[in-house]
Amino acid sequence: MTKKYFGTDGIRGTINSKHINGDMFFKFGLASGTYFRSQKKIKQTAIIAKDTRLSGYTLEPALVSGLASAGMHVYTFGPMPTNGLAMLTKTMKANMGIMITASHNPHNDNGLKLFGPDGMKLSDKIEKKIEKLIDKKISKNLSSPEKLGRVKRLESGTKEYLKILKKNFPKEFNLRGLRIVIDCANGAGYKAGPELLRSLGAKVITIGVNPNGTNINKNCGSTYPNKIKIAVKKYKAHLGISLDGDADRIIMSDEVGNIIDGDQIIAAIATRWKNKKMLKGGVIGTLMSNYGLEKFFETNKIRFIRANVGDRYVKEQMQKNNFNLGGEQSGHIILGKFATTGDGLLVALEVLFAIRKGKKASSFFNKFKKTPQILENILVKDKSIINKPDVKKSIKKAKKLMNGNGRILVRASGTESKIRVMGESENKKLLEKCLNIILAKIK
């Protein structure tokens, strides 16, 4: 289903570009507000949170104006993790939640993620309906003066979110005696992350908690996990936690400085949940999940299904198969028992709960040996290059040369102007040769 504005995870792009500007965000607000208002024909509620990008100050007022113009009452929360917004959409019985963020992208990008009243990301079908409304004449969707929405700022968002997180664990659960490094990527979790860990009694070493509008994800956060690795060793910490710009991803470090990606975190949680009889059905991964993870689950008799890339597609497959665990190598992990979307802090709590009685992080993680994987992210002007005959031919040639000795995946990023070329094989020379055939046609 081809979409005009929405990608694999909302709408995203460079600030003040074609789609990411005040004019378009007014239209996004008006269109999404009109769609949800049409479900009940009465005034409804939208809630908005954001990450720490400077551009949020230009986009949020435009979005609010569009929503209020559609007759939606609007509450704004300021910086807060994406899953906090999703959780509050549900608990406040709001009709929609909108997160203004470009996740792990640099500060010059921004975008939005939309959630329905159930705290779930919107389906392709609903996104298509909203896209049709975006392209309609503005005057057709504007409310009459007496039906305009009201707008209010709430300061309680982070506090309420942390309450919900802690309710998922026993009252006596605490982190006293644990030293934890947390890198908040100068993003949406910069307040919530340290506050959560300290409230449970941990000694916290912080990185990336001084956002200035342009330093979000800059040499910090889940895309630069070496920061926590170094800090864990320096401060002799028990665990390192690295979030991305909107705190829905997590990459970790054990106490000896091993970087733990999403696949290793999923393997560890799945093993624990299976042993505790908490695992429901099996695990959903994605096309990018390491083949070593698949083999690990096969050996341990845990069902494993691959979904398209994007935590929304992971969640859809979790619902379809009635599974309660899924996620991505990048650190988007959905604990279906507790959440509707990825949540770095929730995953961190689940890991900390598992090691609370003195178990070392290194013995909790590292469940399987990764199949060697190479991932190349190629910046392109036009992502449709992936459909060119010579590129298609090179992919076919590379796969034939691989001849069952590994796996190759070529896909356009749903969130950036990049083509992602990934390969896995125990034969590294063959893998490099195959990938170079493809890269020569794209670069």
Q: Is the pTM of this model over 0.95?
A: no
Q: Cα separation of 79 and 53, whole Å?
A: 9
Q: Where do runs of H (alpha helix) occur along 5-123? A: 22-37, 56-69, 82-91
pLDDT tens for 4-50 read: 888 878 899 999 988 999 999 999 999 999 999 888 766 799 999 99
**Helix (H) / strand (E) containing 78:** strand 72-79
Going from the first residue of the chain to its last (443 residues), give the mean pLDDT of each consecutive group of 10, the final group possibly shorter: 80 92 96 89 88 98 97 97 96 96 95 94 91 90 94 96 96 96 98 98 98 98 97 98 97 97 98 97 95 95 94 92 96 92 96 93 94 90 90 93 89 84 92 93 87
Tokens 């009243």: give the residue.
Answer: 117
pLDDT tens for 251-299 read: 999 999 999 999 999 999 999 999 999 999 999 999 999 999 999 999 9
CA dihedral 70, 75, 78, 80 (to 10 degrees): -100
| Residues with a known catalytic role | 103
Q: Cα separation of 38 and 44, whole Å?
A: 10
